Amino acid sequence: MRIADAQWIPSTPHQTWDALHDPAVLQQCLPGCIKVEQRTPTEYGLVIRTKVAGFEADYEGEILLSDVDEPRSCTLAFEGKGRAAGLAIGTAQVSLTPKEEGTRLSYTVAAMAGGKLAELGEATIMKAGGKIVDKFFGAFIEHMARQPRTAAPPPPPQPEERGLANSPWSWAVALAVVTIIVGYHALYR
């Protein structure tokens, strides 16, 4: 199953990024979400209760972030397991770009299902997945519209470069070493 789409978020890219990584915001906006916890800066755990084709199940899952380019893009790997329902796994590429005084959030999701969930068929799963995505973005956009806009944080200061190459004496030292080597070879060879 593959889904690719984009949404306009009424907020700046850095605010959108921060909200997408905030467990409280995710728990509020994900339909059927029971719990979201951030385990590390790149790992989240969650529990979601969902109903697909009349079959309701709790899924415990993990989301791992990679290729993080804050606040522009990241890749997500996710896995959800339901005791009776089966398994859902996949990846998503997420990209944030400024657009019309807000943020264009584009995403591509590739996912697979196993167990009883897979028996429902791709069309049923796609329809249920589309409803979940629509509800999430509806709640997320509404949440972001209520937030006051803030300026982007300043970039972190560049570390002071160290080493001989940045010293005003570096050329003098290099010249002295070359002179000693040339003088040694000229006098003793």
97-119 pLDDT per residue, tens = 999 889 999 999 998 988 877 88
CB atoms within 10 A of CB 183: 10
Asked if residue 88 has pLDDT above 80, the reply is yes
How buried is residue 188: exposed, middle or buried, by Cβ count under 10 Å (0-12/13-18/19+)?
exposed
User: Quick one: pLDDT at residue 188?
Assistant: 62
What architecture is the 2-146 domain classified under in CATH? 2-Layer Sandwich (3.30)
Whether residue 101 contacts residue 87, with contact meaning beta carbons closer than 8 Å, is answered with no
User: Quick one: pLDDT at residue 187?
Assistant: 63
What b/e readout covers 58-90, taking b as 16+ CB neighbours within 10 angstroms?
bbebebebeeeeebeebebebebbbeebbbbeb
pTM beyond 0.85: the answer is no
Q: What CA–CA distance (Å, rounded) separates 5 from 105?
A: 9
Q: What CA–CA distance (Å, rounded) separates 10 from 149?
A: 9
Would you kindly state where each structural domain of the chain is located, as residue ranges? 2-146
125-181 pLDDT per residue, tens = 888 888 889 999 999 999 999 999 887 777 777 777 665 555 665 556 666 666 667
Asked if residue 189 has pLDDT above 90, the reply is no
